[in-house]
Amino acid sequence: MAIPAADINKWQYQQKLMTPDEAVKMVESNTRVRYSEFVMFPDLLDEALAKRVDELENVDISGTCFSKVPKVVLADPSREHFYLTDCHFGVVARKLHDQNLCNYVPLTYHEAPRWARKYWDVDAALLLVGPMDSKGYFNLGVSNSVTPAVISKAKKIIVEVNNTIPTCLGGNQESIHISQVDAIVEGNNNPLQQIPTPPPTETDIKIAEWIMKEIVDGACIQLGIGGLPNVVGSMLAESDLKDLGVHTEMLVDSYVDLYLSGRANGSKKSIDRHKMVYTFAMGTNKLYEFMDNNPACAIYPVNYTNDPKVIALNDNFIAINNAIEIDLYGQVCSESSGTRQISGTGGQLDFIYGAFHSHGGKGMICMSSTFTEKDGTMQSRIRPMLSPGATVTVPRSITSYVITEYGLVNLKGKSTWQRTDDLISIAHPQFRDELIKEADKMKIWKKSNKIAP
pLDDT for the residue numbered 226: 77
206 and 140 both lie in a single domain = no
Number of domains in the chain: 2
pLDDT for the residue numbered 6: 79
pLDDT for the residue numbered 96: 97
d(CA 125, CA 128): 10
pLDDT for the residue numbered 246: 98
- Domain end marker among 186, 210, 227: 186
157 and 208 both lie in a single domain = no
Q: Is residue 194 part of a domain?
A: no
295 and 386 both lie in a single domain = yes
Kindly list the distances between the CA atom of residue 325 and the CA atoms of 169, 226, 284, in Å, as whole numbers in the listed order: 37, 17, 29
d(CA 452, CA 166): 52
d(CA 334, CA 365): 9
pLDDT for the residue numbered 69: 97
127 and 179 both lie in a single domain = yes
- Domain end marker among 186, 215, 235: 186
Pick out the chain residues at pLDDT < 70.
Answer: 1, 447-453
- Domain end marker among 135, 157, 186: 186
289 and 182 both lie in a single domain = no
Convert the pLDDT of each residue in 271-293 to its tens digit: 999 999 999 999 999 999 999 99
217 and 179 both lie in a single domain = no
> DSSP of 115-131, one letter per residue?
HHHHH---SEEEEEE--
What CATH number has the domain bearing residue 33? Answer: 3.40.1080.10
Catalytic choice (174, 249, 325, 438) = 249
162 and 213 both lie in a single domain = no
Per the structure, the complete domain to which residue 317 belongs is given by: 202-441
Describe the chain by its helix, strand, coil percentages, rounded to 5: 30, 20, 50
What residues contact 251, with CB distance under 8 A and at least 6 apart? 142, 276, 278, 280, 281, 283, 287, 291, 297
Say if CB 250 and CB 280 are below 8 A apart: yes
Convert the pLDDT of each residue in 138-154 to its tens digit: 999 999 999 999 999 99
What residues contact 256, with CB distance under 8 A and at least 6 apart? 286, 287, 290
Q: Is residue 195 part of a domain?
A: no
pLDDT for the residue numbered 329: 97
Angle of CA points 327, 422, 352, to nearest 5°: 65
pLDDT for the residue numbered 273: 98
Convert the pLDDT of each residue in 32-48 to its tens digit: 999 999 999 999 999 99
pLDDT for the residue numbered 451: 63
175 and 260 both lie in a single domain = no
Q: Is residue 449 part of a domain?
A: no
Angle of CA points 267, 268, 271, to nearest 5°: 95
209 and 318 both lie in a single domain = yes
pLDDT for the residue numbered 5: 77
| Active site annotation includes 249 | yes
Q: Is residue 367 part of a domain?
A: yes
164 and 275 both lie in a single domain = no
- pTM of structure: 0.95
